[in-house]
Amino acid sequence: MSERTQRDYDAYSVALLRVMGNAPIAAIRPHHIMRYLQIERADAPVRANREISLLSILLTMAVEQGDLNSNPCKQIGRKNKERPRTAVPETAELEAFAQWMQAQGGQRQVIGMMAEFIALTGNRRVEFMRLEREAVDLATGIIRTQRAKQHDGRVKAEEIIIDPALHSLLERILTLPRPEGSSHLFLTRDGNPYSDSAFQSTWQRAIVKARAEGVRRSED
């Protein structure tokens, strides 16, 4: 699992253990799952869905190991409703936030460029945070990367066409100061590729400051 998935599962396990930590797995019934979703975690319905999804993974493992006959999470008819995001950020808002991040300098400048890269390529962070500089070919206008989360379990190579906006961003990225011999496109202050937790930490601090200064931005 990726670092982010591990961190998410650790967070989801807190409420699960508080409510169900002392229950033998064979004693868990579908109505316990529904109670968890609708009563125990009524104040956080969407988070409850994620927590029950983790529980379902664990109970499936128990079934596979012969410790349980069936997974009660798969016997409930529904989870809590989730409302998809409907707000689409305006281009001007995105540009204002990107410019603010650029003006911050340092690691916020790098994180801001990573956010721009996501907006222009549609890549997930896990697909580019460790991207090597040699994967970027400005001469031919191609970035060679790999898609994450392949359903068949295989890694799929992908070529991203570098359009003018992406070309301009990459030129800015490549001119950032970096230690001699560094091979990655996006680097921390120490010259290492970003971990997901380091990205999230810097990003969240920047969001808090941007809000305090009245910078308009898209939703997280």
pLDDT digits (tens, 9 = 90+) for 5-52: 888 889 899 999 999 999 998 999 999 999 999 999 988 888 899 999
The model carries a pTM of 0.57
Residue 88 pLDDT grade (very low, low, confident, very high; cuts 50, 70, 90)? low
Tell the residue number behind the tokens 């939703």, with chain if given: 219
43 SS3 class? coil
CA-wise closest residue to 132 among 179, 181, 185, 171: 185
Distance of alpha carbon 4 from alpha carbon 13, whole angstroms: 14
Contact between 155 and 146 under an 8 Å Cβ cutoff? The reply is yes
- Range scoring the smallest mean pLDDT among 2-6, 27-31, 81-85, 202-206: 81-85
Contact between 144 and 162 under an 8 Å Cβ cutoff? The reply is no
Residue 59 pLDDT grade (very low, low, confident, very high; cuts 50, 70, 90)? very high
Q: Where are the beta strands (DSSP E) in the chain?
A: 136-137, 142-147, 156-161
Q: Decide which of 22 and 124 is more confident.
A: 22
